[in-house]
Amino acid sequence: MPQRNTSGQDHRGNTMPNTEAATPRYSVLCVDDEQNILRSIKRALFSLKIDLTLAESGEEALAIMEQKTIHVVISDMKMPHMTGAELLEKVAAKYPDTFRVVLTGFADIDATIKAVNQGRIHRYLQKPWDNQELINTIEEGLERIKLKDENARLQKLTRLQNAKLKEVNNDLEKTVQKRTRQIKAALNRIETRNRALEQVLFNVISINPDIDGKFAIEVSELSKKLAAKLGCNTDEKKLYAYASLIGELGLLGLQPENFRPPFAKLTYQQQKDYMSQTHLAKMILAPAEHMQPISEIIEFQFEHYNGSGLYHKVAKEIPLGARIHAIARDYWRMVGGRMSAQRMEPRDAKAELKKHRNTRYDGEILDLLLSDHDIHKPSFIENHLTSEELAAGMVLGNNLYNDNHILLLPAGHVFSEATIAKLKQYEREHKRHFEILIENEKSKETT
């Protein structure tokens, strides 16, 4: 940025204008070995708002420029000891931003043109000069200086703004990270409460003496295995397993005589009442918006694959979870004697299901059950621990039930010191010792 002369006088003792004003003064240095030429230039430039400095030699001019910023240098071409071309060449080397003008006579025109071509001077004026042309030349030089100053100012402002923007972005990123952590914590709390609600729902079903909690557990485990064989992701497997776990929620609204006997033994009206459990379950789950996917699975569980079911839905309209659940449910209904008065062997139950391939049941899912002879058996998974071996931070691999098939802790529960203590207390009070499946990397891949 240009420096301003605040002394009130130039180096020759001339009184200078007050440069403390808000508008910056630019410095012009005139160099000539003749005093009358300098006085003529001073008179010609009287009206310009500039800081004018005069020098009588090239050496004196260079000494001045060591002490203050000069924006425009006007030098006579022909001076003793150091010509104007030599002076301006030195100025160009040391102060390249300074606008350089030479005053030349006709005899020096060739040397002047050579200096112009070599880039040592910007403009030349012939003696005798025209005052207005001199003023215009100085204003041209100052305009170039002003543009450079403005460019420097804008670049500095840009750097400052970029630094400020970077700081703001860093603060914003920290704020976003903080808010993200807060949102994740809130979502975890919501998920924990949702899991608690799900646990309560199953316990409400299982504690009913007329509803078989063990049956629900078996159907849920089979649904999860079928979903795994289909290549469903972890969230989908959990969703389908839980929907099967509370698949008989609607039975809470029915009289026991409408669902306790085998289905084949029910009257036509009782069978209709039994099927109405899906409407009741939908009503029960209606306030829980986050459970609507589960509600739809339960609602459409009696739909037939070929569209001949309760709602006459075609296959693509029946949720995948409902198609999985229907196969797992009816397999265990047949094995447990809930379809007819007689229990079936697993192979016989599979043979019966096969009769309805692609009519009642989705053939692709049913084939997974038919081709696996061990799918109905409990999975062998390592890493069962006693409560004494538990440590805070361990993750429960499977739902933990008591002897009455009441859900104590859901799969995915992260043990804390408090829950371990409560589990140990439960074991002492009920004289029961659990074998607890802890999730590890291997079991994560297979579940």
Q: What phi and psi values does residue 123 have, to the nearest 5 degrees?
A: -140, 155
The answer to whether residues 412 and 350 belong to one domain is no
Residue 443 belongs to a domain with what CATH number?
3.90.105.10
The answer to whether residues 268 and 349 belong to one domain is yes
Note the pLDDT tens digit of each residue in 111-161. 777 777 765 888 888 888 899 999 999 999 999 989 988 898 999 999 999
* Three-state secondary-structure class, residue 122: coil
The answer to whether residues 223 and 360 belong to one domain is yes
Note the pLDDT tens digit of each residue in 356-368. 999 999 999 999 9
Query: Tell me, what's the pLDDT at 445?
Result: 41
Query: Tell me, what's the pLDDT at 19?
Result: 41
Task: Domain count for the chain, please give it.
Answer: 3
Query: Tell me, what's the pLDDT at 57?
Result: 94
Residue 106 belongs to a domain with what CATH number?
3.40.50.2300
Give the model's confidence band at 107: pLDDT under 50 very low, under 70 low, under 90 confident, else very high: low
Last residue of a domain, one of 341, 358, 378: 378
Last residue of a domain, one of 378, 405, 439: 378
Residue 353: pLDDT over 80: yes
The answer to whether residues 236 and 349 belong to one domain is yes
- Residues 233 and 229: their CA atoms lie apart, in Å, by 10
CB burial string 321-355: b at 16+ within 10 A, e below: bbbbbbbbbbbbbbbbebbeeeebebeebbeebee
- Residues 218 and 330: their CA atoms lie apart, in Å, by 11
Residue 163: pLDDT over 60: yes
The answer to whether residues 384 and 353 belong to one domain is no
Which segments of 246-315 does DSSP mark as H helices, in order? 268-275, 277-285, 292-299
Last residue of a domain, one of 139, 156, 173: 156
Residue 318 belongs to a domain with what CATH number?
1.10.3210.10
Q: Which two tokens stand for residue 239?
A: 């969703």
Query: Tell me, what's the pLDDT at 250?
Result: 93
For 121, 178, 180, the CA distances from 174, given in Å and listed in that order, are: 55, 6, 10
- Residues 300 and 296: their CA atoms lie apart, in Å, by 6
Q: Which domain holds residue 328?
A: 207-378
Highest mean pLDDT among 21-25, 63-67, 203-207, 412-416 belongs to 63-67
pTM recorded for the entire structure: 0.54
Query: Tell me, what's the pLDDT at 375?
Result: 81
Are the CB atoms for 253 and 227 separated by under 8 Å? no
Name the average pLDDT for the chain.
85
